[in-house]
Amino acid sequence: MKAALLPGATGSDGRPVTLGVMGGGQLGRMFVQAAQEMGYFTAVLDPDPTSPAGLVAHYHIHTDYLDEQGLAQLMQRSAAITTEFENVPAAALVTLGAHRVVAPGARAVAVCQDRASEKAQLARCGVPCAPYAVIESAEQCAAVDPALLPGILKTSRLGYDSKGQVSVEGAGDLRRAWESLGQVSCVLEKRLALAFEISVIVARSALGECVHFPVQRNLHREGILAVTEAPAPGVSDALAAQAVEAARRLADDMQYIGVLCVEFFVVDGGTLIANEMAPRPHNSGHYTIDACDVSQFELQVRTLAGLPLVSPRLHSAAVMLNLLGDLWFVDGERELTPPWASVLALPGVRLHLYGKAHPRRRRKMGHLTVTAADLESARAIAREAAARLGLAPF
C-alpha cells in the first residue's frame, strides 16, 4: 500500500500534490472542486477545450483519451488519476496504471463498459438481474427464448441515458431492432413490471474499507434521471440493507477502489433486481453535496488519495431535480435564462450549473437540490420549484 497523498503536501517541484481525472464533464468538474477545497491541485485530460472540468482545473490537457503525449503529460502532472465516466478507454487506464495510482482500475471499468460482462459480474456475485440474452448475430435473434419478450434491446457498449436502446415487443421486431442499432453486440433484457427504481452509492478504499450513502429513490423520464429522493421513500430497512450488501459484494469481488453506484429495479412484489453499475460518482448522488456531511465527490478524492473513509451522514432530507437543456427553450424557441430568481426565492433550494455554454435538448446542464428537515417538506418545495421552471410534476 502506497503512502497517502496528504492535502497540502508538495511534490519534488514544490507544487501541491496534483490529482488527475480522465474526462472533463460535470462529474469531473465536481470532483475537481472537491479536490481543490481539500488543497489539491487538479489536472484534467479532455479533448474539449471548453469542458466543464477543464475550465476550473489547474491544468487542462486538450488531447484524445488515447493520445500518448497527452497521457504522458497527465502522468507527469498527477500523483494519482481517476475517471469521470465509464467510457474512458480501458486501454488508457492500463497505460496510466503502469506508472501511477489509478482508481478505479482498468479491470473494473472494463466490466462496467460492457453490459454482457456486467451481467456476468452480477451472476458471479449472486446479485439477481433481469433475464437476458446476448445478441451478436441474426441467428441469435431468430433463436431467442420467447420468454424474454417483450424486452429491451441494449447495445453492450457505449449506451447511456436511453441511447443505444430499443423496445422490442415480439420476435418479429427483434432483428429489425438489432439492425437499427448497427448489428453490434447487444443484450436483450426481459421487460419487467417495475414498482420503482433505487440506487446505492458505495466508496471502497485500497485497504478494503467500504462506506455507503443512504439508498435513494429515482424517477427517470425517457431514460434520463429526472428526480432523486433521499432517504428513499417506500423502501424498507430490509430492502435497503439488501441493496447495500449487493453493492458491497460487487465492489469487493472487483477489488474496486473508488466510488461505485449500483442501480436497482424494485419489481412488483418487492423483489430487488440489479440494473447496472457506474464506476464513478452518479447523478443520483448529487444531493450528497448539500444534504450530507461528506459528498460522493469528497469520497472519490479520499479513495484516490488513500485518505481514511468515514460513513457519510445524511443531515437533511433532500430532493434533487435534474436540469436539462430543454429548460432554455420555450415553444421551440431559445430563451436566454430560466427563471432562477423565482426558484431561488424558495427555502432550502441550491442551484448547481455545470458551466456548459450551449444548452441542447436532453443535455444535462445542472441540477437543483432542495433540503429540508423531512422528506415531505423537501418534496413540497421541490414540486413548487418544478412548477416555476415548467418541469413535469412528480
- Compute the mean pLDDT over every residue in the chain, rounded to the nearest whole number: 94
**pLDDT band, residue 11 (cuts 50/70/90):** confident
Domain boundaries, the chain: 18-102, 131-190, 194-389
The CATH fold of domain 194-389:
D-amino Acid Aminotransferase; Chain A, domain 1 (3.30.470)
Cell numbers 434491446 label which residue? Answer: 153
Q: Mean pLDDT, to the nearest integer, of 176-201? A: 94
Q: Mean pLDDT, to the nearest integer, of 314-323? A: 98
pTM value?
A: 0.95
Residue 336: what pLDDT? 74
Region of poorest pLDDT, from 173-182, 236-245, 345-354: 173-182
Residue 379: what pLDDT? 98
| Angstrom distance (rounded) from CA 217 to CA 240 | 11
**pLDDT band, residue 251 (cuts 50/70/90):** very high
Half-sphere exposure of 49 (CA within 13 A, CB side): 0
Q: Is residue 1 over pLDDT 60?
A: no
Region of poorest pLDDT, from 15-29, 34-48, 324-338: 324-338
Domain 131-190: state its class: alpha beta
The CATH fold of domain 18-102:
Rossmann fold (3.40.50)
Q: Which three cell numbers stand for residue 277?
A: 453499475
